[in-house]
């Protein structure tokens, strides 16, 4: 194993940048401008009387107001209520004024459909039901503004509304399934940590009780001997309670493998090199200080899990990679674990949290890193490639 080059001690992932759907706003603006030109020229509404211009202006302004509700200027529920209020008010005004002209409001209907899909997707169920019904009704009443509208048009609008609502519900179901899977991955990692806690704590508690027993047999002071016997009994009770709790937590997985140490990472790298398609260049770089004085058992187990999962992700998502670098570097306070490959998985230059990268294995590792006071990020790196970087605290 070769020593690792120096890395900056204050490694901080770049801030996460959320993509903005500017194309949606641009599309609504383009539709609104096009609709305004058509209404002003009367291209689509030949044969109208002189009152049509006023109705056209009302519908055109309403389209702008409803489209503005798509923008995130307030909470989604507030924007949906505002859009419904504008749409229903315009429909009521046109029907009351007797302006039965084919001014349905294309921009208004498109914005209402977008809000319907997002409400069915993201708003809590108790609020999504009335808001969804109100938005759907706003879209369906748009053709009613024309007294001569054919029934097939109303049916077509109803089918579009049903399709958009179904799309929003499908997205809601997908997110719910994802949340359940993430929760299961985190719970599995907590159970694994509980087992490891028993493994390395039991060693120290057992040593403590043996030392208390041996010292108690040598001391001549009865009070000291009694105190040592109490320490031994407390240690035995702690071990019994820990074993009982571990059996309850891992009753579905009673057989656990022993804790891996830092030397097992070499085996992981060799297995990856042997089983990977092609012939990738796999490099393991470990600080000489880590070879001389390895980290604590719980930290070594976490490092082993992180490297194992990261290499599995490389094999799964970047099978054509040609260069993989596993780097372990320690300082007085932190241990940096980096698994980097030259395969391209994303065009975005920003690091992402493992919850957004699609893999549940990294979600569990994030839970593990958080539990021991560290952090874990995964994402593309400048110059191409993908990196899983864990920063773990070193307690000596």
Instruction: Using DSSP, state whether 184 is helix, strand or coil.
Output: helix
| pLDDT of the residue at 288 | 79
| pLDDT of the residue at 242 | 66
C-beta atoms surrounding 89 within 10 Å = 13
Q: What is the DSSP string of 250-315?
A: TTT----PPPP-TTHHHHHHHHHHHHSSS--EEEEEE-HHHHHS---HHHHHHHHHHHHHHHHHHH
Give the Cα separation of 104 and 102 in Å (integer).
6
First to last CA, the chain: 24
Which among 63, 134, 145 is positioned nearest to 96, based on CA atoms?
A: 145
Give the Cα separation of 323 and 330 in Å (integer).
23
Give the containing element (helix H, strand E) for 219: none
Give the Cα separation of 329 and 288 in Å (integer).
9
Left, alpha or beta for 278 (phi > 0: left; psi -120 to 50: alpha)? left
Which among 377, 183, 380, 379 is positioned nearest to 392, based on CA atoms?
A: 377
pTM above 0.95, yes or no: no
When pLDDT is averaged across residues 246-269 and rounded to a whole number, the result is: 64
- What band does 219 get if pLDDT is binned at 50, 70 and 90? confident
| pLDDT of the residue at 208 | 74
Structure tokens at 58: 């009302």
| pLDDT of the residue at 278 | 67
Residue 142: pLDDT over 90: no
| pLDDT of the residue at 370 | 83
Q: Which region among 171-180, 294-303, 311-320, 375-384 has the lowest average model confidence (pLDDT)?
A: 294-303
Those residues whose C-beta lies under 8 Å from the C-beta of residue 232, and which sit 6 or more positions away, are: 209, 212, 213, 216
Which of the pair, 155 or 347, is modelled with greater confidence? Answer: 155
- What band does 162 get if pLDDT is binned at 50, 70 and 90? very high
Which among 135, 95, 145 is positioned nearest to 114, based on CA atoms?
A: 135
Give the Cα separation of 353 and 338 in Å (integer).
15
Give the Cα separation of 320 and 344 in Å (integer).
9
Is residue 186 within 8 Å of 365, Cβ to Cβ? no
Instruction: Using DSSP, state whether 98 is helix, strand or coil.
Output: coil
pLDDT averaged over the chain? 77
Residue 17: pLDDT over 50: no
Give the Cα separation of 261 and 299 in Å (integer).
9
| pLDDT of the residue at 260 | 64
Span 349-360, pLDDT tens digits: 444 455 444 456
| pLDDT of the residue at 364 | 76
Q: Which region among 179-183, 213-217, 318-322, 343-347 has the lowest average model confidence (pLDDT)?
A: 343-347
Which among 345, 328, 326, 320 is positioned nearest to 271, based on CA atoms?
A: 326
| pLDDT of the residue at 350 | 45
- What band does 180 get if pLDDT is binned at 50, 70 and 90? confident
Which among 231, 239, 244, 290 is positioned nearest to 266, based on CA atoms?
A: 290
Which of the pair, 93 or 254, is modelled with greater confidence? Answer: 93
SS3 content of the chain, % helix, strand, coil (to 5): 60, 10, 30
Residue 171: pLDDT over 80: yes
- Range ranked top by mean pLDDT from 9-13, 147-151, 351-355: 147-151
| pLDDT of the residue at 388 | 92
Is residue 93 within 8 Å of 62, Cβ to Cβ? no
| pLDDT of the residue at 246 | 58
Q: Which region among 14-28, 122-136, 137-151, 303-317 has the lowest average model confidence (pLDDT)?
A: 14-28
Q: Which residues of 234-269 are buried (b: 16+ CB within 10 A; e: fewer)?
A: ebeeebeebeeebeeebeeeeeeeebbebeebeebb
| pLDDT of the residue at 13 | 42
Span 99-136, pLDDT tens digits: 555 666 889 999 999 999 999 999 999 999 999 999 99
| pLDDT of the residue at 123 | 93
When pLDDT is averaged across residues 323-351 and rounded to a whole number, the result is: 77
Which among 120, 118, 140 is positioned nearest to 130, based on CA atoms?
A: 120
């Amino acid at each position: 194993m070769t020593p690792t080059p120096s890395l900056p001690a204050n490694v901080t992932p770049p801030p996460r940048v959320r993509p903005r759907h500017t194309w949606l706003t641009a599309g609504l603006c383009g539709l609104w401008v096009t609709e305004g030109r058509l209404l002003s020229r009367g291209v689509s509404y030949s044969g109208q009387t002189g009152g049509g211009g006023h109705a056209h202006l009302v519908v055109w302004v309403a389209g702008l107001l409803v489209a503005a509700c798509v923008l995130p200027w307030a909470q989604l529920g507030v924007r949906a209520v505002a859009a419904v209020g504008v749409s229903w008010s315009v429909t009521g005004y046109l029907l009351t004024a007797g302006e039965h002209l084919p001014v349905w409001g294309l921009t208004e209907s498109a914005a209402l459909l977008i809000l319907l899909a997002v409400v069915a997707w993201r708003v809590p169920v108790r609020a999504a039901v009335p808001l969804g019904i109100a938005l759907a009704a706003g879209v369906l009443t748009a053709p009613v503004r024309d007294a001569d509208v054919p029934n097939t048009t109303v049916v077509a609008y109803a089918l579009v509304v049903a399709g958009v609502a179904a799309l929003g519900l499908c997205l809601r179901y997908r997110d719910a399934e994802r949340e359940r899977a993430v929760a299961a991955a985190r719970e599995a990692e907590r159970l694994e940590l509980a087992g490891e806690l028993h493994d390395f704590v039991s060693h120290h508690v057992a040593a403590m009780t043996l030392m208390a027993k041996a010292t108690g047999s040598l001391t001549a002071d009865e009070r000291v001997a009694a105190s040592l016997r109490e320490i031994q009994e407390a240690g035995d009770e702690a071990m019994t309670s820990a074993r009982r709790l571990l059996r309850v937590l891992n009753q579905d997985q009673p057989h656990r493998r022993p804790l891996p140490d830092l030397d097992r990472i070499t085996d992981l790298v060799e297995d990856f090199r042997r089983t990977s398609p092609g012939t990738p260049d796999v490099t393991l770089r470990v600080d000489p200080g880590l070879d001389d004085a390895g980290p604590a058992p719980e930290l070594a187990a976490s490092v082993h899990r992180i490297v194992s999962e990261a290499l599995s992700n490389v094999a799964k998502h970047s099978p054509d990679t040609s260069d993989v670098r596993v780097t372990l570097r320690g300082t007085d306070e932190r241990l940096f674990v980096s698994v980097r490959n030259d395969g391209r998985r994303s065009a975005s230059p920003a690091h992402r949290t493992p919850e957004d990268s699609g893999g549940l294995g990294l979600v569990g590792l994030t839970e593990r890193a958080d539990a021991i006071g560290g952090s874990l990020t995964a994402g593309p790196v400048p110059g191409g490639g993908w990196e899983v970087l864990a920063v773990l605290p070193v307690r000596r």
